[in-house]
Structure 1
Amino acid sequence: MKTKTQTISDSIVKEIINLDNISILELDKEEIISFFKSHGVLLFRGFDVDTNLFKEFTNLLSIDFINYAGGAFSRRVINGDQTLLSVNDFKSEIKLHGEMYYQQNIPLMLWFFCANPPLEDGETTVCDGRQFFNEISSSTKELFSKKKLKFTVQISQQDWQKKYQTDDLNKLEEMCQKNNTHLTVNDDQSILLEYICPAIIPSRCGKYQVFINSLLPTKQLSPKILKFEDDSDISDEVVFELNEIAEKITTEISWQKSDILMIDNTRILHGRRSFADDQRDIYIRLCSPSFSF
């Protein structure tokens, strides 16, 4: 069996390239795990993979697949499988972020699959949250050490029922409790959600600090819902600094058909460049690794 491994430019992305037309299921699991622990993001390229084989491969290395209940975007379910979702609900850029960091229970690992690449643009962007932390100015680090982020969202009854995939208020209350989210139910059955979290977290091994959160896309797409926990504003200067760092350390992944991307969602931020055509079809699975890391 022949494969080639390399890193993309000077980034942390480890690319595993099929040179001998082998099945992706024949890859050495322990070697994949070792690469993943070291790099945090792996790109599998040149393998003959369809949607079913993508699911089979990801099942080998993952557990606890979840649906997208409570997610920020509208995502299309693929082939009736609630754990296989399209990420093409709109075409504009999405800034670097950790997946679902507007709630307590996040997927620890992400899988992306390129069912069909865009004609142009639409690259997925990634960067290392450890490196991001190291690039932040001392004053901004101090600010984040003193103040947590607060997401405050008002949602109509119709919209929360769609978002949380239930019309049962008791189930909604249970989900909010599990996610350490404060829920207020209004007279018209609309709701107010408040969630507080740090912008910087310790790595799972405890040796590093990691900048990973949903700050940048929230300030980009819905700026009014995000402030510091004391209700003070996150200044334009801070957001500018973070966006400057993001562009400096971002790696762009130009999709090829059947590419698979494996991401550590406790360390690696991801995003997307804008695109214009209707060809781009990228799927995601949200889960935990079946191995310790």
Structure 2
Amino acid sequence: MSNWHHRGQSWAPELITPESAGIAADPRALAGHLASADVREILDRHQALLIRGFDVTEASLAGVMPLLLPERLAYIHGNTPRTKVGENVYTSTEYPPEYAISMHSELSYAPAWPARLLFFCVQPSATGGATPLLDNAAWLAALDEPLRREFSGGLCYRQYLHGGRGFGKSWQATFETDDRAQVEKILAPTGTQWEWTAGNALRTRTVRPATIRHPATGEELWFNQADQWHPATLGEDTMRELASIVPADELPQSVTFADGSPIPAEYVTRIRDTGLELAHDIAWQQGDVLLVDNLTLAHGRRPYSGARRVLVAMSH
């Protein structure tokens, strides 16, 4: 949506309510409506779909989800802590509520990523906790030309995944298996380099572009997680604390330019702040279902207080 800027904050997801659809306010009626809807066309036109007012619960979500996600994927190679609560359904990132989660497209650092994300609000937070959305073409356009040029050569993402005890995620949790051979089978076709350490940890190294072209429109999209993987965005206190307990080569994740040269801290803070500033907030209501085109839109999370439970699932 290259005209995101011109419309300012006027962009919003396509909204389906019982009133707009002319149907009963219950999950069964919603499922019937979705069965005859062209979800792909809706996402192509609007990039996101918000379904509100149907009293969807965690139990009744099972009747709705297959109509929105053709084939649910496991959160394999994911870099954030989540809890699996159903068949390829997870809690959203379990990150301290007082911090924002910066804008990103899911698994944009990986050689393969989901095409669609589905979020479901079981319980909205007392305050805050919105999920911001941002058009990736608009994010790219908002970054200055010198910065874009610096990133044109691509990025190198590195992970250090411990073998069961240590800081960050284990390789077992990351790949949902205890079998090294299975991990290698997942990594082998992706171009990722890996090595096992003497302490049963796994190091991976993946070189990826910072932008990609939309397969249908050819539009260039900002599509990376440089700011999330860079220690500068953790804040100085956290960086110092980490450095005192974790050797540099055992950081759970880190990123450089593709040639190995460091990315200046000012670049990643500018990228992060630009994304969060431009984004459109989705303020959750209980029972909301949000479907997002993961290629064209980035998402994040605003800080919040009180209990909050939002589930996420993904598909091709």
Deviation larger for 182-191 or 262-271: 182-191
Instruction: Tell me by how many angstroms 1:262 deviates.
Output: 0.5
Where does structure 1 differ by over 4 angstroms across 4 or more consecutive aligned residues? Answer: 221-224
2:160 and 2:252 in contact (8 A); partners too: no
CA–CA distance in 1 between the matches of 2:202 and 2:172?
A: 10
Q: Cα deviation per residue 1:111-169 (whole Å; 9 max; x = unaligned)? A: 00001111111111110001112222121222222x21111122221221232222211
CA–CA distance in 2 between the matches of 1:130 and 1:162?
A: 33
What secondary structure, in the 3-state scheme, does the structure 2 residue paired with 1:231 have?
coil
Q: 1:160 — aligned with what?
A: 171
TM-score by length of 2: 0.81
Deviation larger for 68-77 or 127-136: 68-77
1:204 and 1:266 in contact (8 A); partners too: no
Deviation larger for 37-46 or 67-76: 67-76
Q: 1:76 — aligned with what?
A: 83
CA–CA distance in 2 between the matches of 1:43 and 1:198?
A: 30
CA–CA distance in 1 between the matches of 2:17 and 2:193?
A: 46
Equivalent in 24, 30, 41 of residue 24 of structure 1: 30
1:86 and 1:284 in contact (8 A); partners too: yes
Q: 2:312 — aligned with what?
A: 284
CA–CA distance in 1 between the matches of 2:223 and 2:296?
A: 7
Instruction: Tell me by how many angstroms 1:9 deviates.
Output: 4.8
Equivalent in 167, 170, 188 of residue 177 of structure 1: 188
- The AA in structure 2 aligned to 1:105 is A
1:200 and 1:209 in contact (8 A); partners too: yes
Instruction: Tell me by how many angstroms 1:199 deviates.
Output: 1.2
Q: Do structure 1's residue 104 and structure 2's residue 132 form an aligned pair?
A: no
CA–CA distance in 2 between the matches of 1:216 and 1:42?
A: 27
CA–CA distance in 1 between the matches of 2:12 and 2:172?
A: 39
CA–CA distance in 1 between the matches of 2:18 and 2:297?
A: 24
- The AA in structure 1 aligned to 2:279 is T
Q: Do structure 1's residue 118 and structure 2's residue 125 form an aligned pair?
A: yes
Equivalent in 269, 272, 292 of residue 263 of structure 1: 292
What secondary structure, in the 3-state scheme, does the structure 1 residue paired with 2:71 have?
strand
CA–CA distance in 1 between the matches of 2:100 and 2:273?
A: 15
Q: Number of paired residues?
A: 278
Instruction: Tell me by how many angstroms 1:241 deviates.
Output: 2.8
CA–CA distance in 1 between the matches of 2:67 and 2:297?
A: 21
CA–CA distance in 2 between the matches of 1:8 and 1:15?
A: 19
TM-score by length of 1: 0.87
Percent identity over the alignment is 22
Gaps of 5+ in 2: 1-6, 165-169, 235-250
2:159 and 2:253 in contact (8 A); partners too: no
CA–CA distance in 2 between the matches of 1:178 and 1:11?
A: 38
CA–CA distance in 2 between the matches of 1:74 and 1:9?
A: 31
1:97 and 1:216 in contact (8 A); partners too: no
CA–CA distance in 1 between the matches of 2:147 and 2:285?
A: 38
1:108 and 1:265 in contact (8 A); partners too: yes
Structure 1 residues 65 and 125: CA distance shift in structure 2, 3 A = same
Q: 1:135 — aligned with what?
A: 142
Q: 1:4 — aligned with what?
A: none
Structure 1 residues 70 and 33: CA distance shift in structure 2, 3 A = closer
* RMSD of aligned alpha carbons: 2.2
CA–CA distance in 2 between the matches of 1:32 and 1:174?
A: 33
2:163 and 2:202 in contact (8 A); partners too: yes
- The AA in structure 2 aligned to 1:67 is A
Q: 2:44 — aligned with what?
A: 37
1:199 and 1:213 in contact (8 A); partners too: yes
1:105 and 1:178 in contact (8 A); partners too: no
Gaps of 5+ in 1: 1-6, 289-293
What secondary structure, in the 3-state scheme, does the structure 2 residue paired with 1:192 have?
strand
Instruction: Tell me by how many angstroms 1:53 deviates.
Output: 2.9
